[in-house]
Structure 1
């Protein structure tokens, strides 16, 4: 990304000569003194992608099949304006190191904040179906406009600049633009005139991002959850026909799934049933479908725990055996679906490998659980982010099963009756599930340096400017590991270091490690495959009360 903006308000020739300009209009006197015609002034601020850093200099625009496409009706975009800007004024931002102190404010606060924000938090578009965080922004942003998207972009850009440079003026303007953007968003949704525009959904995602990088106490974007859900439902299937509809949908869905996990609220996990529908057609969407299913299964297991700890005394003339059998049968059904979902994760690994090989040229392919960390393959940033998200969903499902098992053990101590499944089968499979959690974490931690751009194809350390783009995608999965009771101390410590970096050097202030809530458990390294998981389903679905056996040590 390059910034051909104005860090000086002088004429073009004085800027090139790096001398002070007296800025007389229409031409400066200094050019006249040097016997040169004054080329005039250019105060426009635009972004464009640096062609020397991009594999594709002029990627063809994606075909749009949506009749109401807003791109054709938008004013001059950042990319279009950049093509008309003066090439002599270009300053490459990709190669700039963030200064330790605030640079001279010869340019406006808006210009400096936008320059820093796009350089660090916007992933260049590589014209494939792998989503990159905020890669839609340069095409949708209108420099000459002051609409919803522009206000939302300025608010988050100025907060990012405040985190980096520490000027209170950035902070003040950031909150002002955030308030203006929220007011415009409310009017837009109420009138419904432009509610399905890509720019509206992009603006809401930026407002959520504002919550992630703003000061402590602002780090929960749940107030935008219902708005995201409403917009995704209203946009329907048509949104996948726009230039950036697929990426916008995936990023919004990730926000909804994070909300579902953190708040135990499954109402917003599948807007309009689109995830379930498209999960049958596209492996990336199938991964999102598995994440959605995981959230639903987790909520179901939590409900089973709540019901089993409630009052199951017989009511009326209903025999006690019937009252006891109903929750047991429900628990067995949910557990069956949980292990079926684990088998689906195993199948996805093989399916995704073939899909990547045939669809994404030059990109590394996902591998089976535990094989990523055991190997030495290079992963591009986008693929690494997707693997981290899929492994996180798998870890959440495994954690949910283990949490349910803990409630069963507590009930067994109180009643002397093993509530569901075969107790000996549970004793055999609990170490397996714990080990799978550690393998999932190993894979996640292996992919984080690639997602953040810390490692190159040869495995050597590198530095890319867009580390903030990946940080906003993976910081919640990394934070989850820090309070996972079954992670090793080394895994938790490494995640705490990553979160500290995301907060202190990138400015993702909500990347704050939670306190560890349990000690780690060292289990034998076992690794089941699909057939083993199917066998586990059969064992755990066995009903009846087993004879008491010695319990495994608490994890």
Structure 2
């Protein structure tokens, strides 16, 4: 009899499914997420008999069935145990996919703990097994996104096919939910829309740059109203806000739903919520250059002057926000293992938040310059001319500093180094979850296409989007890495049909195919 070495310490179910177990007691999180009783853990020390007969027997034995495991009831830990065969309801690949998806998209290093999508595993587990009910829209959406995520990761087309089948089922159940006055305002329904939006981006199937789910998000936010600001709803709202409002600003699209009432109920002492409150004042209309056939129209001059003042005030508020942050939110300058000057943060979520901050500041600086140059072109004033020249110089300096800071933080943001600049790359892959990559896509794309990044900076951003997007299995990031300017709008139809089959658009009047 010899010591068999250090065995896996995960629960029996996680070991059978070959996924990482968090080893929590009395049951692990993976089992709770999937709605299964945790079978428990084997003893710390395992001895095995190394006789020739035992060796031969072990070599000739078949591996355990992929669809069954032995469940150990550890109610009386050492004295008794009841052993039963527990059959899984679906392919083990789906279970691995769901756990992998939750690990990649619902875990995050937010300063206050948790994740914007951290409660989705609990909602998923509570969906029930009745696939005909409206609440199943979330279960099918999660299954679809999970299978697609893992399918992209392991290059398995069969998983992708299963994912698309579940998307169709999710859309069907979502229609049922939206037809129900009760179901349409539940967290399950909103969460299903969130996951379907993720699916669209993971698959890279946007038809152009705008998301096909933006209208749905806005309509659901309008339906939910203040009820969206419960504990779970608030996290959903934050995710949807970034998905809709920030994209609308960077793409200069006018939102269909005014979020001011919801935003004003946020907590201004929370740095992230305070940033949302400031950014919410930005309206794509306020960023537009007023135009008329009559260049000397006094109304145009007044509008230009008003928008210039507005942008300056808002930019000052954003600058004040960055100066009033707690120490834990501030960047740390250091040298990486390769000698590169880098910025790190206390978490990757903070790094992505700063990237969004930089993108909005760049947007304001560019808008200020456009407004001043247009005002100078129609008003003969030396003072305005000088102000336009000053803004061009000062704005260019600020924009370059924001781009530089974002690029300096890329190694940390994408999990290549730790807070001290030490390397984290293991076996050719960086240490970063897919959600962190996803959260960085739009600010990096805007910085890439704003026209002020130097060739080396643009190359660095393109490489990061392409490599990390491919590594995380997010095709949207790979597609956006190839976008060179505002005029170049990619067609991301992929395998989606021209008619948009498989997508649902939610309007104020209801659901439209």
Does 2:271 match 1:278?
no
Q: Map residues 29-428 of structure 1 onto 2, 5 A cutoff.
A: 50=22, 78-79=32-33, 81=35, 84-88=38-42, 107-123=91-107, 129=112, 132-142=115-125, 144-145=128-129, 146=131, 147-217=136-206, 222-242=211-231, 244-261=232-249, 263-268=251-256, 270-271=258-259, 273-278=261-266, 280=268, 282-294=270-282, 296=283, 298-304=284-290, 307=291, 310-312=292-294, 324-353=297-326, 357=327, 364-366=328-330, 378-405=345-372, 407=374, 412=377, 418=380, 422-428=384-390
List runs of 5+ in structure 2 lacking aligned partners.
Answer: 1-8, 45-64, 68-90, 334-339, 487-513
Does 2:511 match 1:516?
no
Greater displacement, 380-389 / 231-240: 231-240
Q: Give the aligned partner of residue 546 of structure 1.
A: none
Say if 1:141 and 1:149, in contact at 8 Å, map to a contact too.
yes
Cα deviation 1:137-164 (Å, max 9, x = unaligned): 2222217534111111011111112211
Structure 1's 239 and 130: CA in aligned 2 closer, same or farther, altered over 3 A?
farther
Structure 1's 87 and 240: CA in aligned 2 closer, same or farther, altered over 3 A?
farther
> How far is 1:79 from its partner?
4.3
Greater fraction of residues in strand: 2
Cα deviation 1:210-266 (Å, max 9, x = unaligned): 111104556756322122122223333343333x23321111100111441355333
Distance 1:423 1:153 in 2: 56
3-state DSSP of counterpart to 2:281: helix
Structure 1's 376 and 334: CA in aligned 2 closer, same or farther, altered over 3 A?
closer
> How far is 1:338 from its partner?
0.5
TM-score between both structures, scaled by the size of structure 2: 0.71
RMSD: 3.7
Structure 1's 386 and 407: CA in aligned 2 closer, same or farther, altered over 3 A?
same
Distance 1:339 1:189 in 2: 42
Distance 1:301 1:220 in 2: 19
3-state DSSP of counterpart to 2:451: coil
> How far is 1:468 from its partner?
0.6
Distance 1:272 1:192 in 2: 24
3-state DSSP of counterpart to 1:456: coil
3-state DSSP of counterpart to 1:222: coil
Cα deviation 1:283-305 (Å, max 9, x = unaligned): 322201222223x1x4323142x
3-state DSSP of counterpart to 1:135: coil
> How far is 1:200 from its partner?
1.9
Structure 1's 137 and 293: CA in aligned 2 closer, same or farther, altered over 3 A?
same
Say if 2:97 and 2:150, in contact at 8 Å, map to a contact too.
yes
